[in-house]
Structure 1
Amino acid sequence: MSSQYAQGTLIWVKHEEEVWIQAEIITATEKEIIVKTIEDPNARIVLGPNEPIFLRTTDTYTSEGLSVLDDLTQLTHLHEPAVLSSLQNRFDIDKIYTFTGPILIAVNPFKVIPGIYDEEVLKSFISTKPSTKPHVFNTSNASYRGICDRHKSQTVLISGESGAGKTETTKFVMKFLALAGSSDGEVTDVERQVLESNPLLEAFGNARTLRNDNSSRFGKFIELQLGSPDFTSKFC
């Protein structure tokens, strides 16, 4: 099994604290694999033939390489350590949204990132031409285009663990649809009240967890009706 790995092969190996670390194979036999890590090139780690290792490339962890690509499906090696490393590197430069095919991954930054949700940014995503930039407004626009172009009801599924940012994401989707679905491109008082009611609804039936003081203990369904089936918005 280990004979497939040659000297100098770049790999990921399991680590108790870092989960995965970057390493390079020194020697590989049928009984063991000896590697050196990037963090400590002088140290040696001996791996058994059945221990999990994954191939990596230099561009999976450099800021100029594939780690900053907007879509994880474009990674050379698509596996757990490559995905986690790419998300971490994007997170470090405040790129909290990443595509993996049609799915949008959001990483809670636990801080305010200036300008990412401004109204100008929101309006820039309201377009008949789909954007390739990963953003919650992009996903919202894809849903809105489905309403405009195909006149079919659309569903946005938002999922994640406690404290992942589901509630905030829901509010941004609702904000986008409220603005895009208005006839003049402005949020009305009624639409604004709907958006502001979300924190009140979120307060019912919730409990405290280790990561979130106000965590949902139930699934939540929200339905927005944008006028009649043949409604007209200047953004359609």
Structure 2
Amino acid sequence: MATHYAQGTLIWVKHEEEVWAQAEIVTSNDKEIIIKTVEDPNGRIVLGPSEPLFLRTSDVFTSEGLSVLDDLTQLTHLHEPAVLSSLQNRFDIDKIYTFTGPILIALNPFKMIPGLYDEEVLTSFISTKPSPKPHVFNTANSSYRGICDRRKSQTVLISGESGAGKTETTKHVMKFLASAGAEDGKVTSVEKQVLESNPLLEAFGNARTLRNDNSSRFGKFIELQFKPQTGSATQVLQPGMTGESLRLCGARIRHYLLEKVRVCEQQ
């Protein structure tokens, strides 16, 4: 049985170039659905009753522009076109991080965004409890406070297709964890060595590909080791943290996907 839509219903409809386009129902019956798109309000498109349509909400504008949500779970309609549209709207204003529940989605901007990873930003996340603000430092902060408060190992899984920005995200997570437990914000030689291992790994394990000038050609499991700040004159407690701050004392890196049998041809 065909679904009947009321006149003026806001929908998403398939689009050849944009994947999904904003549209509105003009009329609907058992045999056909007539719509008009936002980009061509005077035109009319006739669709079959079985065409995939998804409901949408009208855009909300504030004094700062188009209102965008920090968490996709807050969307009224949680489906593919709504998710893609929300991510696109945030990306257009250089908001590359978005939560979907406990998961942080990162879009590679392929450019430098001023102020996104400044020392002041890093320090502000260290000195506060994890917040609803989507940022890689916020996710790293949750992990750091987990090992300090509960004394249990934490895992940050960074995944994505080639060129998604996994390597850079890993660097930011490691930088935060190295700085979080540092007394007076001073990074020691051990912490510095851990952070400086990245260029060494990239020199031997990265290569230029069609989609990425610095693509990791291997997988890696990085284990960061922390210990209590014994011998310190003062016990470092961050706001909202119940346990003592821990300091980075070492790391272990395991590599994967470098087996010779995987080499078939040069790209």
| Shorter-chain TM-score above 0.5 | yes
Output the amino acid matched with 1:132: P
SS in 2 for 1:222: strand
What pairs with 1:123-202 in structure 2 (closer than 5 Å)?
A: 123-127=123-127, 129-202=129-202
> Deviations for 1:204-231, whole angstroms, at most 9, x for unmatched residues?
3444432112322332111111125989
The gaps in structure 1 that reach 5 residues or longer are none
Please name the residue that 1:53 is paired with: 53
The alpha carbon displacement at 1:233 in A equals 4.3
RMSD: 2.1
Contact 2:33–2:46, Cα closer than 8 Å, also in 1: yes
> Per the alignment, do residues 150 and 8 of structure 1 end up closer, same or farther by CA in structure 2, a change over 3 Å counting?
same
State percent identity of aligned pairs: 82
Please name the residue that 1:213 is paired with: 213
Task: Looking at secondary structure, tell me which structure has more strand per residue.
Answer: 2
The gaps in structure 2 that reach 5 residues or longer are 239-244, 246-267
Q: Which moved more, 1:45-54 or 1:111-120?
A: 45-54
CA distance in 2, matches of 1:14, 1:203: 44
Q: Which moved more, 1:109-118 or 1:128-137?
A: 128-137
SS in 1 for 2:20: strand
The alpha carbon displacement at 1:3 in A equals 3.4
CA distance in 2, matches of 1:130, 1:114: 22
Matched, 1:77 2:81: no
Matched, 1:88 2:88: yes
Contact 2:130–2:139, Cα closer than 8 Å, also in 1: no
The number of equivalent residue pairs is: 234
SS in 1 for 2:177: helix
Contact 1:207–1:215, Cα closer than 8 Å, also in 2: yes
Please name the residue that 1:68 is paired with: 68
CA distance in 1, matches of 2:110, 2:67: 21
The alpha carbon displacement at 1:4 in A equals 3.2
Q: Which moved more, 1:143-152 or 1:218-227?
A: 218-227
CA distance in 1, matches of 2:146, 2:121: 21
> Per the alignment, do residues 112 and 205 of structure 1 end up closer, same or farther by CA in structure 2, a change over 3 Å counting?
closer
> Per the alignment, do residues 92 and 152 of structure 1 end up closer, same or farther by CA in structure 2, a change over 3 Å counting?
same
CA distance in 2, matches of 1:93, 1:206: 31
The alpha carbon displacement at 1:118 in A equals 0.8
CA distance in 2, matches of 1:205, 1:121: 30
Contact 1:184–1:234, Cα closer than 8 Å, also in 2: no
What's the TM-score once normalised by structure 1's chain length?
Answer: 0.91
* Larger Rg belongs to: 2
